[in-house]
Structure 1
Amino acid sequence: MNKQELAGMVAEQLAMPRDATLAVIDTMLDTVTAALARGEDVRLVGFGNFVVAARKASSGRNPRTGEPMDLPACRSPKFRVGRNLKVACNNVD
């Protein structure tokens, strides 16, 4: 499912125009992105948590050339699955 299909399904369930639903989804995603950029966690109870994790600097290899390279420290977004989502995925018929 892509964002357009999601907007169509939500619009149908809520009897809203698809364009308005798409605007709501875009606004939600922008808000989550902004919160994560500020280093905040986003908790959606039952669905899951979006968190920012710090990664230490490390060394690695360029997969194309095999040259060693230094990977800088960075912050990386992660998603931790909530209980309701995990149960729903395991109870698929």
Structure 2
Amino acid sequence: MNKQEMIGELAARTGLSKRHAGAFLDSYQSLILETLKKGEKIKLVHFGTYEPAQRAARHRHNPQAPSQKVLVPAHTVPIFKFAKSVKSRFKQ
């Protein structure tokens, strides 16, 4: 499912226009990104948790010059962990 399909499905399920459903989805995505950039996590009960995770600095090989090592600096990445209740639904 791509973004336009999701907007169409949201509109159909909620009775919103596609325009309003699209605005909602854009706002939802922006809110998640802004919250993660602040270093905060978002917990959606019975669904999952968005959180920022720290990745340590490390050396990697340059794929274009395998003998050359490149330092990848420490950085923050967004992660999402599904709740156990969601995972269990896929096991059934």
Matching of residues 1-93 of structure 1 within 5 Å = 1-66=1-66, 67-91=68-92
Structure 1 unmatched runs, 5+ = none
Give the ranges of 4+ consecutive aligned residues of structure 1 lying more than 4 Å apart after TM superposition: none
Structure 2 unmatched runs, 5+ = none
Task: Give the alignment's TM-score, normalised by structure 1.
Answer: 0.90
TM-superposed deviation, 1:82: 1.1
TM-superposed deviation, 1:7: 0.9
TM-superposed deviation, 1:11: 0.6
- Which whole-Å CA distance do the structure 2 matches of 1:28 and 1:50 have between them? 13
TM-superposed deviation, 1:84: 3.0
Aligned pairs, number: 91
Corresponding residue SS for 1:39:
coil
Task: Give the alignment's TM-score, normalised by structure 2.
Answer: 0.91
- Which whole-Å CA distance do the structure 2 matches of 1:22 and 1:79 have between them? 22
- Which whole-Å CA distance do the structure 1 matches of 2:91 and 2:41 have between them? 26
Name which of structure 1's ranges 79-88 and 48-57 shifts more when overlaid on structure 2.
79-88
What RMSD over aligned residues (CA atoms) do the two structures have, in Å?
1.1
Corresponding residue SS for 2:79:
strand
Name which of structure 1's ranges 61-70 and 20-29 shifts more when overlaid on structure 2.
61-70
Alignment-mate amino acid for residue 22 of structure 1: G
TM-superposed deviation, 1:9: 0.5
